Amino acid sequence: MTGGQVTELVVFLILFGLVTVLGFVAARWKAGDGLNHLDEWALGGRRFGGWVTWFLVGGDLYTAYTFVAVPALVFGSGALGFYALPYTVVLYPIVFLPVLRLWSVSRTNGYVTPADFVKGRYNSPLLALLIAITGIVATMPYIALQLAGLESVLRTIGLNGHGLLGHLPLFVAFVVLAVYTYSSGLRAPALIAFVKDILIYLVIIVAIVYLPAHFGGWSHIFDQAATTLAKKSPTTGKPAGSILLTGTNQLQYATLALGSALALFLYPHSVTGVLASKSRNVIKKNMIALPAYSFVLGLLALLGYVAISAGVKPLVNGATGKPDTNTVVPELFAHTFPSWFAGVAFAAIGIGALVPAAIMSIAAANLWTRNIYKAYLHRGATPAQEARMSKLASLVVKFGAVLFVIVIDPQFSIDLQLIGGVLILQTLPSVAIALYTRWLHAWALIAGWVVGMGWGVYLLYTIPAATGKGHFGGSALALGKLSIIGWHPFGTSTTQIYVGIVALVANLVVAVVVTAILRAVKAPQTPDSTLAADYHAEEGDPLRTPDQALVG
């Protein structure tokens, strides 16, 4: 460790210690009936107003993904990585109306998870179970992405050990996170999100004002990035990328943006952020205000080009022995900022990874407790038992994600999130479409899920790593490789597409066809426990108990 790195580490630890204290204090913030009730622990008592929701949902969306993974993709392949900006622009118009319906129906009927809603809407235990399992599994790689981001910071500070020891700082950080999430529930990340955002805005403003001028202005930075990306890679013989889209990745760009936008509010943690707000109006205003983060996200993505222009070389990961592109932004900060400010920036990135990781693990734990533990293992569980089960499950999910980081090592960490997206998109027909209509039959939704999930995972399996060998190497598929039982509808096309959209289309086609068949043979429908008015309920409208719901 150099002297500069020691300063960075000290600043990092001070700020990290501060948020840890905040995490413990959070347990008493706006406390209600006590954290032994799941609504209290997991949804902060459904009392969060506009500002808290803004920070909380913002904390969900703008994560290590934004600060580490997106710039790393821009650094490695150019314009393609900028898809994250259109993703966050089309996101809010798409979800604006559906999330309001979800909030209302969930509040009236006491739903905590997306699978709760599916259970109430379709009364199909199997469908609800599939939605719950999908949510838990799809969240894990997303948490793993946060861990990879945090790890890149720790390695840049100099904690870049070899072998299993190299992962030690990660374990320590996560034990801290796990303990205070365990004791404070959703209030911990909600309160810490304030600190996180203040730190991040500070770092961004400095980075965006100072760095481009320091490296000769945007014009020069883009010219240099274009030259560097155009150089042919010695391993593949092809250029690494370009600052504009090429003939083969335009469709990939659009489908990545659209697929990511459709996927985001299907993730259990985004649903948690929405359900914790206190009224429809809070959500509406947030949908208008949240894109303020999009500007920041776009500017951060461009730091990938600044890093190219600055000649940053990704740090070699001590544990794997390979260059880790996740480290390009931390390395850029370490080389251009004074040590103390680099420390502040690292703390911002680190805390920015922990907040969403906490929210994600709470949400995945809720799915386990409500839709698997209570539905199958212990039907008569009391609210206190439920809350205890969720707390324990949140620990298990976090450590599952730690293992994910150690075992899986894609070229770009962003692919962790995109693989999760392929999985979670398969719940769109059962959750998002069901908010509007019950035309799709429960068994058709199950059939669609099986086909979409099976095919999606198979296609991911066939994608080799950058070296040309191996599996699960990314999320982009050449259309020519797309085969339907041996039939290649797109010939030998090299145009790339995001696997998530392909699998979702297959899912929808199957769901519609099977529904048409089931309706033609007049197959019996499962009952609906929700009422039309539930989807427009406002704050203050009467709630219904489960018994009343069945009577209607």
Partner 1 sequence: MSSAPPPHPPADRGSGLRWSAWNLLLLLPLLMLVTPWFNRATPRLAGLPFFYWYQFAFVIVGVACVWIVYAMTRKPARRAGSDAAKGARS
Residues that bind partner 1 (CB under 8 A): 79, 82, 85-86, 89-90, 92-94, 96-97, 212, 217-222, 243-245, 250, 253-254, 257-258, 279-281, 284-285, 287-288, 291, 294-295, 298, 302, 435-439, 525, 528, 530-541, 552
> Minimum distance between the CB of residue 187 and partner 1, rounded to whole angstroms?
24
- Residue 530 CB, nearest approach to partner 1 (Å): 8
Cβ atoms of 320 and 411 closer than 8 Å: no
Report, in Å, the least distance between residue 220 CB and partner 1: 8
Q: Which two tokens stand for residue 282?
A: 């809070």
Q: For residue 109, give Cα distances in angstroms to 117, 137, 391, 547.
A: 9, 26, 23, 10
Helix (H) or strand (E) holding 323, with range, is strand 323-324
**Closer CB to partner 1, residue 105 or residue 144?**
105
The smaller minimum CB distance to partner 1, of residues 89 and 406, is found at 89
SS3 at position 478: strand
* CA separation for the pair 352, 152 (Å, rounded): 13
User: Residue 224 or 394: which CB sits closer to partner 1?
Assistant: 224
Q: Kindly state the smallest distance separating residue 436's Cβ from partner 1, in Å.
A: 5
Torsion angle, CA of 340/346/348/352, rounded to 10 degrees?
-170
Closest-CA residue to 249 (of 424, 504, 493, 506): 493
Find tokens 């040309």 and name the residue: 468
Q: In the complex, what is the shortest distance from the CB of residue 29 to partner 1, in angstroms, rounded to a whole number?
A: 25
Single-letter residue type at 22: L
Beta carbons within 10 angstroms of residue 467's beta carbon: 10
Complex with partner 1: residue 2 or 227, whichever CB lies closer: 227
What is the closest distance, in whole angstroms, from the C-beta atom of residue 269 to partner 1 in the complex? 22
- Of 22 and 226, CB closest to partner 1: 226
Q: What is the closest distance, in whole angstroms, from the C-beta atom of residue 40 to partner 1 in the complex?
A: 23
Task: Report the interhelical angle of 292-309 vs 70-77 (nearest 10°).
Answer: 40
Is the CB of 219 or the CB of 235 nearer to partner 1? Answer: 219
Q: Which is nearer to partner 1, 304 or 410 (CB)?
A: 304
- Is the Cβ of residue 284 or residue 388 nearer to partner 1 in the bound state? 284
- Least separation, in Å, of the C-beta of 215 and partner 1? 11
- Token reading at 5: 């790195």
DSSP conformation letters of 337-353: S-HHHHHHHHHHHHHHH
Min. distance of Cβ 252 from partner 1 in angstroms? 10
- Please tell me the distance from the alpha carbon of residue 255 to that of residue 7, in angstroms, as a whole number: 43
Q: Give the HSE-up count for residue 450: Cα atoms under 13 Å, Cβ half-sphere.
A: 10
Query: Which whole-number Å values give the CA distances from 76 to 25, 218, 326, 328, 331, in the listed order?
Result: 41, 18, 10, 10, 15
The residue length of the chain stands at 552
Residue among 213 and 377 whose Cβ is closer to partner 1? 213
Crossing angle (nearest 10°) for helices 187-214 and 3-25 = 150
Give, in order, the Cα–Cα distances in Å from 321 to each of 160, 162, 391, 467.
Answer: 11, 8, 36, 15
End-to-end CA distance of the chain: 67
Nearer to partner 1, 258 or 518 (CB): 258
Minimum distance, C-beta of residue 392 to partner 1, in the bound complex (Å):
37
Is the Cβ of residue 20 or residue 525 nearer to partner 1 in the bound state? 525
Smallest gap from residue 86 Cβ to partner 1 (A)? 5
